[in-house]
Structure 1
Amino acid sequence: MKCVQCGKENAPDARFCVQCGAVLDPAVLEEAGPPEDRAAYGGFWVRVGAYLLDAVIIGVPQVAAQTLISPETMVARGPDDPVPPAEATWFLVNVVVAWLYWAGMHSSRYQATLGKMVFGLRVVDFNGDRITFLRATGRHFATILSGLILMIGYIMVAFTRRRQALHDLIANTLVVRKEWLR
């Protein structure tokens, strides 16, 4: 069995890597809970990259649809101008689409958005299992709080032991590298 941490070949029945000590046996992972090795989790910059990719994947079709269907809502207006009903409708549509994308993908069998998949990340609970749509919904809307406090909720990823953002702590989730789930 090959170690996903260091690449060392180990005996087929090995529970731990002979070179680096990483857990090889999935049964040991179930007993031990989440790994203590910070390398098993998605770090700050890889999560930023995944988010930016997701923003393009979801944002470009949203802007294209809005431009084609309701181009009058794409015009800049002054801060004192009233919000037209069509613009308010598009805002709500965009909020719902984003919620369904992020919560739906995180709770799907893929356990990740398209951006996270590209970067080899998965969103899991503390047992490494798929999260429910309800938990994914709570996590998604908790990202608002992560951003409202001067982005400190996101920056926490760089400093917490399991690289959790504030919304991960609120939802009791982890963002792990997919190698940990094998």
Structure 2
Amino acid sequence: MELSKHETAPSAGSEYAGIGSRFLASLLDGIILGIPLYIIWAVCATLMIMGDLEVVRILEKNPDYVTNQEFFFVLVGFLKVMGILASISFIVYLLYFTLMESSKWQATLGKKIMGIQVVEAEGERLSFGRAAGRFLARSFLSPILLIGYILAFFTEKRQALHDLLAGTIVIKK
């Protein structure tokens, strides 16, 4: 049985999550997703590049005799593979954060381990759309000069830029 939005609202005494616990949760999520994705990247990149017989022929050739055209061919192939893998990784991260933060847990695995959860400013559970917006804001805006994260030190509810834009808060459970 799934809880309604009103049943997941934090109690009046809920505390806002500290910057340290939010950082550690983010670090844990990075490890949880990063290690498997790194292995998948390495295997897929190797298979995709080595699966192209023309690339293998060029790579086996003496480097002194590789033409600029052959080098460009290999480089473009490599960039295509990296673009595909980066897109897949972005989708995996988007789905992980969005599905986990809009679930009844209201937290990713890292946040769950640290005992914190993400809620709407009114204390209700995030919708899928709001969780996706929060992720996108965090991915593209907050890393710029780390200003998005630095804001959390100066806001009353310890909200980073992505929290302010999405109308969310992170609380201790």
TM-score with structure 2 setting the length: 0.73
Between the aligned partners of 1:87 and 1:72, the Cα distance in structure 2 is 12
**Residue 143 of structure 2: aligned partner:** 147
Q: Runs of 5+ in structure 2 lacking a partner?
A: 1-5, 50-74
**Residue 50 of structure 1: aligned partner:** 25
| Deviations 1:76-105, CA, capped at 9 Å, x for gaps | xxxxx5452111100100110000001111
Query: Rg bigger for which structure?
Result: 2
SS in 1 for 2:30: helix
**Residue 66 of structure 2: aligned partner:** none
SS in 2 for 1:40: coil
Which of 150, 153, 156 is residue 161 of structure 1 equivalent to? Answer: 156
| Deviations 1:124-167, CA, capped at 9 Å, x for gaps | 0123221001000000000120112x101111111110000000
Which of 86, 89, 100 is residue 95 of structure 2 equivalent to? Answer: 100
Report matched runs for 1:53-72 at 5 Å. 53-71=28-46
Q: How many residues align?
A: 139
The answer as to whether partners of 1:73 and 1:87 remain within 8 angstroms in 2 is no
Q: Runs of 5+ in structure 1 lacking a partner?
A: 1-26, 75-80
Between the aligned partners of 2:46 and 2:105, the Cα distance in structure 1 is 35
Between the aligned partners of 1:87 and 1:64, the Cα distance in structure 2 is 14
Q: Structure 2 counterpart of 1:41, which letter?
A: Y
Between the aligned partners of 1:89 and 1:52, the Cα distance in structure 2 is 25
Distance 1:73 1:141, change over 3 A: farther
The answer as to whether partners of 1:99 and 1:137 remain within 8 angstroms in 2 is yes
Of Structure 1 and Structure 2, which has the larger fraction of its residues in helix?
Answer: 2
The answer as to whether partners of 1:103 and 1:140 remain within 8 angstroms in 2 is yes
Between the aligned partners of 2:19 and 2:38, the Cα distance in structure 1 is 27
Between the aligned partners of 1:72 and 1:87, the Cα distance in structure 2 is 12
Between the aligned partners of 1:167 and 1:156, the Cα distance in structure 2 is 10
RMSD: 2.4
SS in 1 for 2:142: helix
Q: Structure 1 counterpart of 2:128, which letter?
A: F
Q: Which structure has the higher relative contact order (CA within 8 Å, separation 6+)?
A: 2
Q: Structure 1 counterpart of 2:131, which letter?
A: A
Distance 1:86 1:168, change over 3 A: same
